[in-house]
Structure 1
């Protein structure tokens, strides 16, 4: 049986900050990182995405994972979907988030080779309604998108909280943050409830995080 990973997965800011202050800092950092991403040439996006894919595929932890939750990338995120489809065809167990309108949340669904994906309510590709569901407990590796990460594993999302709620349901899974190099910053503002990643993966970085003090 999988056991919850150590509590280093929870953010622990060095000093307490008011929620309004943290929210303002997050908003400012989102604007900065979005500018960086907008300046990233398409050729650099493609080359960095390919390097990230190669890093993932070569990892022994990836190869022996029982079920990996990936994500279908937004335009300003590293491209993963073609790679994940190829991995599923090769026999690697892969799931993607699928929107559950009755629960108003994302839940994992298996990526079935040959099955057509469908655009979800937020225009993100996801498995069709008839794709087999997966339980959160089955996941042992989760690829985590974000606007920014720091080397302590703190993550800055897009402010909606959808992926945060999904991560909160996967305490036994290793969480790997996947990003372009320009998305790694000195410090991500975080609240005590924000969940960290355990590893950062970029084109130039394979970084097991050091827990924040």
Structure 2
């Protein structure tokens, strides 16, 4: 019997969305990708630095001893300064690694530095295969004797999330693969911070029932508590 979580967010679930909503999601993704591509590299770098500095000065970051992060690529807000600061401060850094044999699923892996990363199948830097990871199905495991939830080794104090766009109610629109939504549904019960450029923050998003929300949003201009 398969134990793969069946969570919406992939093509079969997309087909269940009203046509107007599905098209609106496509339009938002297209617009945001264009805006990111049109952003001059030097401006993207300075905005990324400002957003990261804003978060580094925030109590949420300063008090966290374990953080779930990602390596920003393809026009995303950069995370290089956050990663360097986390490793320098001896925080436990969890980074995602997709499962090549299971589309839509990923593990979070405790990683000790850039030397433990390699290019992944989606073009992202990921932890090397030799490091153990924790998947979403491990978040809600139960003891056979007591029936009580068993705490997973993956228990960050803070989770920093990428996204195509965010809205003022904490809505997050991802890239369409459902990787983060599957994990957010099962785990990451810590504060969730969406990292994005200010232009990626919109009043309202065409969300689907499976889209998971964040508690905070950090841009180069501000941090919002939602």
Structure 2: distance between partners of 1:88 and 1:131: 17
Q: 5 Å matches for 1:101-116? A: 101-104=100-103, 105-113=105-113, 115-116=115-116
Which residue matches 1:53?
A: 52
Deviation at 1:102, TM superposition (A): 5.0
Structure 2: distance between partners of 1:82 and 1:131: 23
Distance 1:58 1:159, change over 3 A: same
Asked if 1:97 is matched to 2:96, the reply is yes
Which residue matches 1:141?
A: 158
Deviation at 1:127, TM superposition (A): 1.2
Which residue matches 1:152?
A: 169
Structure 2-normalised TM-score? 0.78
Please list every run of at least 4 consecutive aligned residues from structure 1 whose deviation after the TM superposition is greater than 6 angstroms. none
Structure 2: distance between partners of 1:78 and 1:18: 29
Mean Cα displacement is larger for which, 164-173 or 116-125?
A: 164-173
Q: 5 Å matches for 1:1-213? A: 19-104=18-103, 105-113=105-113, 115-133=115-133, 135=152, 137-209=154-226
**Alignment RMSD, CA only?**
2.1
Deviation at 1:202, TM superposition (A): 0.3
Structure 2: distance between partners of 1:138 and 1:102: 25
Q: Secondary structure at the match of 1:68?
A: strand
* Deviation readout 1:126-167 (Å, 9 max, x if unpaired): 111223435474123111111111111111111111121122
Q: Secondary structure at the match of 1:122?
A: coil
Q: Are 1:137 and 1:172, in contact at CA under 8 Å, matched by a contact in 2?
A: no
Structure 2: distance between partners of 1:159 and 1:114: 27
Mean Cα displacement is larger for which, 19-28 or 141-150?
A: 19-28
Structure 1: distance between partners of 2:114 and 2:172: 33
* Deviation readout 1:16-51 (Å, 9 max, x if unpaired): x95332211101111122222122111110011111
Gaps (5+ residues) in structure 2? 1-15, 135-151
Q: Secondary structure at the match of 1:49?
A: helix
Structure with bigger RCO (C-alpha 8 Å, 6+ apart): 1
